[in-house]
Each structure stands twice: as C-alpha cells, then as structure tokens.
Amino acid sequence: MYDWMIVGAGFAGSVLAERLASERNERVLLIDRRPHIGGNAYDRYDDEGLLIHQYGPHIFHTNSKQIFDHLSRFTEWRFYEHRVLAEVDGMQVPIPINLDTVNKLYGLNLTSEELQDWFAARAEKVGEIKTSEDVVVSTVGRELYEKFFRGYTRKQWGLDPSELDKSVTSRVPTRTNRDDRYFTDEFQFMPKHGYTRMFEKMVSHPNIHVMTQTDYEDVRHVVPHRRVIYTGPIDEYFDFRFGKLPYRSLRFEHVTLEKPWHQPVGVVNYPQTNDYTRVTEYKHLTGQEHVKTALTYEYPSAEGDPYYPIPKPENQELFKKYERLALSTPDVWFVGRLATYRYYNMDQIVGQALATFRRINEALPQGADTADVKVMPSSAALAS
C-alpha cells in the first residue's frame, strides 16, 4: 500500500517524491506514461554517444539559492551561460536585441546612450500593455518587432503576438548594452552529468517505487494508495468535461552531423525563414568533446504531446473552471506546468513543488494521518 501515487516523473513529481520519501518516510509510487523519468527535461546519449535533450534544449537558470541548493544535492554542475543568435536579414545577430544587434543589422556605430534614443524614436505609444505585440512595439518599435518577434511567434504558437498575453514575449528582454547572454540569473548551470542522472539520484530511495510506461488510468483503480499528486494535464484528469485546454506541441528532429561543430552558439533562432523555430547544438550546452555534433530542430505543431500552455485570457478562464474543480477534489494535489496550466521554467516548478511539500506538511501533520487506505482517493487536501 502506497501513501502516495505520483503521476508524472518530471521535476514536479520527482522533487515531491523525494521529499515525501525522505522527509516523511512515506511510501511513494511514481509513475510516468513515458518510457523514462525526467519529464520534458529528460536527456540521453544518442547512437554516437552525444548527450542530447529528447524534448528540446533545457537550460537551467534561477535566482533562487534555495532551489539551486536543493538540486545540488543530486548533481554537480557545469557553468554555462546561454547565448542565442537570430538569423535576420541573412545575418546572425544576438537575441535578446542589444547594442551589437542594432549596430550589425543597420551598419551603425551607436553607443548605449544613443541606442536608448534610437529605440525611443521608434517605440510606439501603447496605452495599456496587454499583448505580446504591445510589449515589443512599445520598446523597440514595429520594424524590429516584425524582424525578430512576429514571424517567430506566429510559427511557435500558431497565433499572432497580438492574440497572446504579454507574458510570452516579456520573457525576452531588450538591452542597450553589449550583454549577449540569454539569461541574467545569478545561477546558470547545467547538471554536470545530465538531467537524467540527476533525476535518477533524486528518485533512488528505498521508499520510492518507479514505474515507467504506466498510465494513471492503468493503475488508479488497481494499486491501493492514500493520496495522489497529479502533474499531467488538468483537463485530462477531469475527462475534458469543460472542453479541451489548448496546449502547443512541437516535433523534434534530432540530427547527428559528421563534423565537430555546426553553429557558433547553443541555439540559433529563425524568425524569418524555415518551418522550424530554432536549432540547438548540444555540445555548447554540455561541454562534451566529440568529433561529431548533435542538433535538434524544433517544428511547432498543434498536434502531439502537450508542451506549452497557451497564455491567452480565454484559456486562463477555462483553466480557472478546472482549477475550481481541482480545489474541491479531495486528496489530490495538482502540481506542475501541465496541471497548473502555467508557462513555468524548471526552477519555478521546483519552487512550486517545494512549496507544495510545505503545504502538505501543514495540512497533514506527520503521525496524524487519518485518510483511509483506498484505491480511489477520498478525503481532503489540496494545492494549486
């Protein structure tokens, strides 16, 4: 009999499994319908021995020492600051847009101060910044918006930036200096031996039993358990009763080339050309030395595994309906990017899982467990 059935072995499920097993000495069944642990952060060696990310590039960055320290229990790290170039007008220039981007693209020699004025002269006045178009046109003007953001966003989301919440393009800042790092967080590292090794260490505890290739539907009525942590899509849990929540998907094309290097940085974005959005070359991320090199091309798609919740007001409203249902579902805790329908990064999911663990401790003091043993969950505790 398990104290917990945890659905999904990504960051949300694995962090919670470890906490419950080691801090509360509770028995956990951790399941995933995929043939591996790690969720979308899963990495593996390809046939040539190159470490690749099965579900696209995952770069760890955080400003939280607590989150960094927590993961440091399960991995050593390799320092890595991510850099991205965008192919625009036939040139490869830094994104986020910075001083070098503008100078190279327009053949100018502006200083940082001059660039501020240059942007100000082009920025459009927007009353209230609501959409992903507003964010960019109000900062750098329409021309750069069209070059860098409009095409990429339409491809990535199948929507115009004017239809997407401002939070999407707000992820990418604009700079007037020469800083060409994609992120400026205090902690920027890759797990030294990969994400999968880190997850293996996290879940290798005598109280945790892992079952991959196992769908919740297959075991929920079969394996006795007291409570559930559910990290899959929330609409699926409730049999889509209010309709489907839109998630954006991707198709990944993994390629190995017979040469040591393909591109100057880890990721090159293609906002104007091609059906794919970006190309990742893993050796930049992993530091691996190899005579060959491995790449991933990302093709956005409406069909396929759910990867991105789509930040739009009407989707958020639909999610709220499911969330209300979740809050009144006893003994099931909904955690993670798919269950809370938020475009969260890995560190934010770790933070969410640790916060959920604290709430579990408050709601269920140890030694005072009154929940019945059951196959179907029955009485009460929730998180969002």
**Judged by CB under 6 A, does residue 95 bind ligand UDP?**
yes
Considering only residues 2, 4, 11, 187, which one is a binding residue for ligand FAD as defined by CB under 6 A? Answer: 11
User: Which of ligand UDP, ligand FAD, none has residue 318 at its interface (CB below 5 to 8 Å by kind)?
Assistant: none
User: Which of ligand FAD, ligand UDP, none has residue 33 at its interface (CB below 5 to 8 Å by kind)?
Assistant: ligand FAD
Residue 210's alpha-carbon distances to 130, 131, 176, 339, 376, in angstroms, are 43, 42, 49, 20, 20
Nearer to ligand UDP, 32 or 133 (CB): 133
**What strands lie across the sheet with 60-62, from one edge to the other?**
60-62, 187-191, 77-79
Residue indicated by tokens 């929730």: 382
Residue number closest to ligand FAD, CB atom: 39
Cα(72)–Cα(85) distance, integer angstroms: 30
Instruction: Compute the least distance from the CB of residue 62 to ligand FAD, in Å.
Output: 8
Site for ligand FAD in 293-312 (CB under 6 A): 307
Query: With CB under 6 A as the contact rule, which of the stretches 51-59, 96-104, 111-119, 309-317 interacts with ligand FAD?
Result: 51-59
Considering only residues 7, 9, 15, 86, which one is a binding residue for ligand UDP as defined by CB under 6 A? Answer: 86
Residue 331's alpha-carbon distances to 166, 200, 249, 318, 375, in angstroms, are 35, 27, 30, 23, 12
Tell me 124's DSSP state: P
Query: With CB under 6 A as the contact rule, which of the stretches 13-21, 35-43, 67-75, 166-174 interacts with ligand UDP?
Result: 166-174
How many other C-beta atoms are found inside a 10 Å radius of the C-beta of residue 15? Answer: 27
**Judged by CB under 6 A, does residue 29 bind ligand FAD?**
no
Residue indicated by tokens 């942007």: 119
Phi, psi dihedrals of residue 306, rounded to the nearest 5° = -75, 120
SS3 174: coil
* Cβ contact 354:67 at 8 Å: yes
Nearer to ligand UDP, 68 or 149 (CB): 149
User: Which of ligand UDP, ligand FAD, none has residue 246 at its interface (CB below 5 to 8 Å by kind)?
Assistant: none
Return the axis-axis angle of helices 112-122 and 99-106, rounded to nearest 10°. Answer: 70
CB neighbour burial string for 128-154, b if at least 16 within 10 angstroms, e if fewer:
eeebbbbbbbbbbbeebbebbbbbbbb
**Judged by CB under 6 A, does residue 168 bind ligand UDP?**
yes
Nearer to ligand FAD, 105 or 284 (CB): 284
Considering only residues 62, 153, 286, 340, which one is a binding residue for ligand UDP as defined by CB under 6 A? Answer: 153
Cα(180)–Cα(143) distance, integer angstroms: 21
Binding flags for ligand FAD, 103-142, as an x/- string (CB under 6 A) = ----------------------------------------
**Judged by CB under 6 A, does residue 39 bind ligand FAD?**
yes
Cα(157)–Cα(341) distance, integer angstroms: 15
**Judged by CB under 6 A, does residue 349 bind ligand FAD?**
yes
**Judged by CB under 6 A, does residue 151 bind ligand FAD?**
no
Interface ranges with ligand UDP (CB under 6 A): 86, 95, 148-149, 152-153, 156, 168-169, 171-172, 269, 271
Contact residues: ligand FAD, CB under 6 A:
7-13, 31-34, 39-41, 55-59, 215-216, 231-232, 250, 307, 336-338, 344-347, 349
